[in-house]
Amino acid sequence: MTYDINNVFAKILRGEIPTNKLYEDEYVIAFNDIHPKAPVHVLVVPKSAYTDFNDLMERAEKEEVNGIFKAVEAVAKQLGVVQGGYKLLMNVGSGAGQEVPHLHIHILAEKK
């Protein structure tokens, strides 16, 4: 998958498309999915330009990988879904249904 600098998440990260940020730190931002597939459906989007999980694992330093997944943990806690349970989803590649070519982790849960 090639990185398209005009993908929707790159535009959100650059502030060209508005979004309600639920969380932000050094490594990621998080916001609600525009077409939620569960009562809680949040996207955690790394600030760096990785196309997908493969690209992250090939190019990122351990510190950044750790930072991204610690952020996922923090967002799940903030959403209040830890006790009830939640799903993490990454579509990796267009063959798996990845639509936006900028790495993102879906957090899905039934209720807060």
Binding residues for ligand AMP (CB under 6 A): 8, 17, 19, 33-35, 43, 91, 97-100
Identity of the residue, 60 or 107, whose beta carbon is nearer to ligand AMP in the bound complex: 107
The least CB distance from residue 75 to ligand AMP, in Å, is: 14
Q: How far apart are CA 112 and CA 110, in angstroms?
A: 7
DSSP symbol at 88 = E
Burial of residue 48 (CB within 10 Å: 0-12, 13-18, 19+) is middle
Close Cβ partners of 110 (under 8 Å, ≥ 6 residues apart)? 38, 39, 40, 84, 85
Residues annotated as part of the active site:
104
Token pair recorded at residue 74? 């923090």
**Of residues 25 and 33, the one with the C-beta less far from ligand AMP:** 33
Shortest approach of ligand AMP to residue 41 CB, angstroms? Answer: 7
- Closer Cβ to ligand AMP, 17 or 88, answer by number: 17
Please, what is the minimum distance in Å from the beta carbon of residue 2 to ligand AMP? 14
